[in-house]
Amino acid sequence: MLLNLFPGPRWSFRALLVALCLLPGWLSAADMGNCLLCHKYPGLSRIDQSGNMKLMFVNEEIFNKSVHSKVKCEGCHADITKIPHEPAKPVDCLAVCHIIEPTSEQKFSHKSVKTFMDESVHSKVDKEGKLKKYNEDMPTCKDCHDNPLFRPLAFVKKVRPGIADDAMGRCRVCHEKEDFIFRFYNHITTRLHKSRSPLNVAEACGKCHDDKEMVKRHGLTIMAGSSYQETFHGKAANLLDESIPDCLDCHVVKGKSVHQMYGNDDPRSSTHPNNRGAICNSVDCHPNASVQFANYQVHPVFDKEKSPFVYWFTSFFYVLTGGTLLPLMAILFLDLLRRLFPNASFKRRK
Amino acid sequence: MAKYPRIKIINGEKYFFRFDLDLRIQHIILAATVVILVLSGMPLKFSDAFWSPYLYALFGGITMAPTVHKITGAIMLLLFSYHIFWIFKVIYNDHYLPMKREGTFTKGKFAMRVLKLPMVPNLKDLRDVIDLMKYLFYYTNVRPDGDEYTWKEKFDYWAPFWGMFIIGASGLIIWNKEFFTQVIPGEFINFCLIAHSDEALLAGLFLFIWHWYNVHFSTSVFPMGTVFLTGYLSEELMCEEHYEHYVKVMKAEGYEKEILPPHGGGHAPSCSKHAPKGGPGQSPPESPSGTQSSEHLVKEGGAAV
Amino acid sequence: MKKLLTKLYILAFMALVVYFGVIIWNLTFAHIIHEYHERNAANTEHTEESLAQKKKDDKSFEQVILKSEKRTKHYLGYRVLEQQYIKGHFHHIGYDVGPDRHSYCSSCHGDMPHDSVTKDLRAFLNMHAFFIGCQTCHARPEGEMATGVYQWYSRETGEIIPSPVNDAPPGTYKAKIIPFIMENGSLVRIDTQAKIDFVEQYRLNEKELTEGQKSKSKSIIHNVVSKKPVICEECHSSENPLLPLADLGYPKRRVDSITSTEVVGMIKNYTKFYMPKMLNPGVSHPVDPVEPLLPVEPAPSVPEDENLPPVDRAEG
């Protein structure tokens, strides 16, 4: 669908088409409505009434490497039908958009996500369908997702991030549209591994789960993100290990999606005490590990009340380290000071 | 031991035997493994520090560095096993067998003999620490006279000795967590992780600050102590740190007349040719130059800068 | 000399030891103390006073401004995308414009100065303000002063630079267009050092000024501002645009685009449907319910979005 750019009578649809064809290469497939005419400018911004910055800039180069690159602007921003337009309304992520899902040949929609979410621990309503207390804290799409970017992998020679040109060459044998090849390659290889680095996942969850107030409000016992960082897993994630488990690897039931997460006390949950062992000794992680291996505290906190054993054990080492090194530092300091004035002393022994 | 004379004279300077080749090689391997282990382990402990990715990249990043760490750790544990074997060998050869030969062996006497080995901490070390504090607080101008091994050296030896058990055991458990948790509970891995990394931090800081200061960066030895390479210590440093032992060795080797006096310490050791009778004695720091040999002056300059 | 060096070495090493001591403290005992305070704070948090204090802290400059801007890094494998974090922002930015440290206008009005007065246009105007200096549109040098000369200045250093346009993506220049005027027979930038100094002195002395002095300063600072700013069509027009686009380094393709029928047509639509009074800025929008507080009179001496709030405050 093309936007009717110029509602005035002077501008015929045909003239517009001609104009679009003549425009240089930066006009992407998604931007059929020529929205980038304005939205390509990084300065397209304002400060709203409550003092928040609104940025209307769309970085085309990055957008074209996102999973939504084929979706037209108006596919999501459905309220905008002409240029110039009124301030855009918030996008409804569950809207039926204009992409055809190839297997069902139906129009595509994220609607199933809502069904999943309503079942999950992150739903706004409880089992009886009543709104939960503090339901405004529960995440909506954009709390976790920004526009997901492709993270292509190359496999041909070795597994590495990026695109394998040799593989693309094979696609070109049968497929003509460069745009399709690029997107298909990116889509598949992005889906074959983590769509976000473990560090980014931990950060996304940490937005709420490391928020002191929220953690307290919802009666959670630990700060999930920061305690994750205390383990080898979190530390390796900090150093950009991709194979290390992040929040989702343990908290999402295998074969399901992140939107179907359950609380630890739910028997369906992967982190329910009965199911925990199976996470750790999965074939990709610690095969042959015993069930009690899963008793490892993946969220250790240094807190006397919450985990006294960890507290006392860690404190012992703190005291040992500090108690050894600080006196030694003092001696070192005094030794240096003594060397500064080697000949001075209160009492001389003759 | 004929192989290692207790005093070697090179260009008229006396050098005192400290460590044989076996020990020196053990020390070098230990030093190398410790440095590699600390450098490849600390980026993980402080993974959110700005320097950690760079340092980690030096060891091949997250894919390679853990392997480097494990292999190096294994080498270190092998070395430690050898060292334990070496200790038993020395005790057996130098103490058990002679006692047997002389027929004086009883369990009690043997134990006493082992406890009196120069590396075992004793009451003199405590006295030395107290005397050192007096000296450091300018209360006196007399440094305690160290024996063959001073309290600092004993500390430097026994602290890593204990650390080796903690770090080694916890490291092995973390390495083979799937195996060990067949028996021990999973929570134990948490403790191993804490013990491993915190004890390593202690050991690392201890060695790189305290130990390196004492053996390399102190103004007496700056820029670098060489005893870990040559096995022999210069007379000057011997005087400063091990005076009691120095006097013993000098007497035993027949150099009684050449014993230098102890000095007041500080960065400009002031040995003079006035021969005292060992033990704490005179130290005339105000008028050193007149009595000093030119050789010593040259050496001091080298040591001080 | 040797002795001195030795003493210096000792002193340096002493400092190092103290530094090490602090590090060791922070790595050990500080954790225990921190945990103690955290735990205590968590237990006593709900007293009225502490909550009130907290609310106050939440509105402090430090919280609202200094700590509000975060940055994120997306690790894509083949590249790391680092950008400003805007809560709830869906599209990626991937580009930092950076504030204009030179313009004395934006030191009061900010880098996104266009506000509710030009409600429907403010984003467009802000977009232009990222690469067009305020004086380009808000000052109209007349008579002898007018030169028609424009140049680019760097947003970072403030210095005149060669055209950054070339093949850079539109609007990403990190430079702004500034007009030149004739002053005492020589060609100078409109934002002369004298003017910059004047504003700086005003800002420094603001608290000590009397009512008269204050208003006088404001009036002098703003006297360069013309009654009617330059409007869209003066540049977005194929016939004799105000800015010498070619001289400013715009390649022909870009000049054509800027003055193209689609841009011009869009502006026409704006003036027709959205901003019928766009040619008379400062006059309230007749159908806009947000605006009626503003006087429905001819504009005061300067466009309102430029001087209204400060003058109000100065006189009130």
CATH number for the domain formed by residue range(s) B7-230: 1.20.950.20
* Most confident by average pLDDT, A23-37, A195-209, C111-125, C255-269: A195-209
Higher pLDDT, B20 or B302: B20
Query: Which of A12, A21, A26, A46 would best serve as a mutation to test chain C binding (most C beta carbons within 10 A)?
Result: A46
CA distance B304 to chain C (A): 7
Mark yes or no for CB contact B264/A236 under 8 Å. Answer: no
**Using CA atoms, how far apart are residues C223 and B100, in angstroms rounded to an integer?**
109
* Most confident by average pLDDT, B188-192, B218-222, C255-259: B188-192
pLDDT the model gives residue C267: 78
Q: What is the mean pLDDT of residues A174-202?
A: 92
Q: How close are the terminal C-alpha atoms of chain A, in Å?
A: 104
With CA atoms as reference, report the closest residue to B226 among B16, B29, B48, B78: B16
Could you read off the pLDDT of C102-112 as tens digits, one per residue?
A: 888 888 888 88
Could you read off the pLDDT of A233-268 as tens digits, one per residue?
A: 999 999 999 989 999 999 999 888 899 999 888 899
pLDDT the model gives residue A259: 92
pLDDT the model gives residue C302: 39
Q: Is the pLDDT of residue A25 over 90?
A: no
Question: Angle CA(C29)–CA(C32)–CA(C38) in degrees, nearest 5?
Answer: 140
Q: What is the mean pLDDT of residues A308-336?
A: 93
CA distance A124 to chain C (A): 19
Mean pLDDT of the residues in chain B: 82
- Window 254-273 of B: residues touching A by CB (8 A cutoff) are 264-268
Tally C-beta pairs within 8 A across A and B: 151
Q: Is the pLDDT of residue A204 over 60?
A: yes
> In the structure encoding, which two tokens stand for residue C136, read together?
């380009």
Count the Cβ atoms, other than its own, within 10 Å of residue B301.
11
Model confidence band, residue C314 (pLDDT cutoffs 50, 70, 90)? very low
pLDDT the model gives residue C45: 59
Residues composing chain A: 350
CA distance C84 to chain B (A): 19
Q: Looking at beta carbons, which residues of chain C come within 8 Å of A326?
A: 21, 24-25, 28
Q: Looking at beta carbons, which residues of chain C come within 8 Å of B304?
A: 2, 6
CA distance A58 to chain C (A): 6
pLDDT the model gives residue B286: 37
Mark yes or no for CB contact C2/B267 under 8 Å. Answer: no
Domain spans of chain A? 1-92, 153-191
Classified as helix, coil or strand, A235 is helix
Q: What is the mean pLDDT of residues A269-294?
A: 88
Count the Cβ atoms, other than its own, within 10 Å of residue C216.
13
Q: Render B34-55 in DSSP notation, one character per residue.
A: HHHHHHHHHHHHTTTSTTHHHH
Chains that touch C (3 or more CB pairs under 8 A): A, B
Least confident window among B44-53, B135-144, B166-175? B135-144
Q: Is the pLDDT of residue B270 over 80?
A: no
Chain A within 8 Å of B209 (Cβ-Cβ)?
Answer: yes
Could you read off the pLDDT of A135-159 as tens digits, one per residue?
A: 888 998 989 999 999 999 999 888 8
Mark yes or no for CB contact C89/A321 under 8 Å. Answer: no
Mark yes or no for CB contact B62/A289 under 8 Å. Answer: no
pLDDT the model gives residue A14: 41
HSE-CB at B214 with a 13 A cutoff on CA atoms is 19
CB A295 within 8 Å of CB B185? yes
Mark yes or no for CB contact A346/B205 under 8 Å. Answer: no
Chain A within 8 Å of C273 (Cβ-Cβ)?
Answer: yes
Q: Is the pLDDT of residue C282 over 80?
A: no
Chain B within 8 Å of A159 (Cβ-Cβ)?
Answer: no
Classified as helix, coil or strand, C160 is strand
Chain A within 8 Å of B48 (Cβ-Cβ)?
Answer: yes
Mark yes or no for CB contact A59/C128 under 8 Å. Answer: no
**Using CA atoms, how far apart are residues B295 and B289, in angstroms rounded to an integer?**
12
Closest by Cβ to A40, choosing from C170, C266, C272: C170
Q: Is the pLDDT of residue B144 over 90?
A: no
Q: Is the pLDDT of residue A27 over 60?
A: no
Mark yes or no for CB contact B219/C20 under 8 Å. Answer: no
Which residues neighbour C315 within 8 Å (Cβ) at sequence distance 6 or greater? C211, C215
Mean pLDDT of the residues in chain C: 78
**Using CA atoms, how far apart are residues C128 and C251, in angstroms rounded to an integer?**
18
Q: Which helix (H) or strand (E) holds C187?
A: strand C186-189
pLDDT the model gives residue C53: 67
Model confidence band, residue A347 (pLDDT cutoffs 50, 70, 90)? low
Chain A within 8 Å of B64 (Cβ-Cβ)?
Answer: no
Q: Is the pLDDT of residue A98 over 90?
A: no
Could you read off the pLDDT of C215-273 as tens digits, one per residue?
A: 898 888 888 888 888 888 888 887 778 888 888 888 888 888 888 877 877 777 776 65
A176: left (phi over 0), alpha (psi -120 to 50) or beta: alpha
Domain spans of chain B? 7-230
Q: C172 to each of A30, A67, A202, C193, how far by Cα in Å?
A: 22, 25, 32, 27
Model confidence band, residue B74 (pLDDT cutoffs 50, 70, 90)? very high
CA distance B130 to chain C (A): 22
Q: What is the mean pLDDT of residues A48-62?
A: 86
CB B6 within 8 Å of CB B253? yes
Query: Which of A59, A73, A93 would best serve as a mutation to test chain C binding (most C beta carbons within 10 A)?
Result: A59
Mark yes or no for CB contact B47/A344 under 8 Å. Answer: no
With CA atoms as reference, report the closest residue to B173 among B152, B194, B188: B188
With CA atoms as reference, report the closest residue to C166 among C252, C262, C263, C258: C252
**Using CA atoms, how far apart are residues A277 and A270, in angstroms rounded to an integer?**
9
pLDDT the model gives residue A148: 92
Chain B within 8 Å of A314 (Cβ-Cβ)?
Answer: yes
Chain A within 8 Å of B215 (Cβ-Cβ)?
Answer: no
Q: Is the pLDDT of residue B276 over 60?
A: no
Q: Looking at beta carbons, which residues of chain C come within 8 Å of A216?
A: 42
Chain B within 8 Å of A342 (Cβ-Cβ)?
Answer: yes
Q: What is the mean pLDDT of residues C29-35?
A: 92
HSE-CB at C142 with a 13 A cutoff on CA atoms is 8
Mark yes or no for CB contact C25/A43 under 8 Å. Answer: no
With CA atoms as reference, report the closest residue to C115 among B162, A47, B154, A86: A47
pLDDT the model gives residue C118: 64
Q: Is the pLDDT of residue A80 over 50?
A: yes
**Chain C residue with Cα closest to A216:** C42
Mean pLDDT of the residues in chain A: 84
Type of residue numbered A219 = G
CB A343 within 8 Å of CB B266? yes
Q: With pLDDT > 90 as the criterion, what percentage of chain A qualifies?
A: 30
Chains that touch A (3 or more CB pairs under 8 A): B, C
CA distance B269 to chain C (A): 13
Sheet bearing B13-17, strands edge to edge: B7-10, B13-17, B232-234
CB C236 within 8 Å of CB C264? yes
Could you read off the pLDDT of B240-262 as tens digits, one per residue?
A: 888 888 888 888 888 888 888 77
CB A294 within 8 Å of CB C27? no
Domain spans of chain C? 106-315
Chain B within 8 Å of A125 (Cβ-Cβ)?
Answer: no
Q: What is the mean pLDDT of residues A324-339?
A: 92
Q: Looking at beta carbons, which residues of chain B come within 8 Å of A313?
A: 191, 194-195
For residue C83, the cross-strand partners are C72
A202: left (phi over 0), alpha (psi -120 to 50) or beta: alpha
Higher pLDDT, A219 or C142: A219
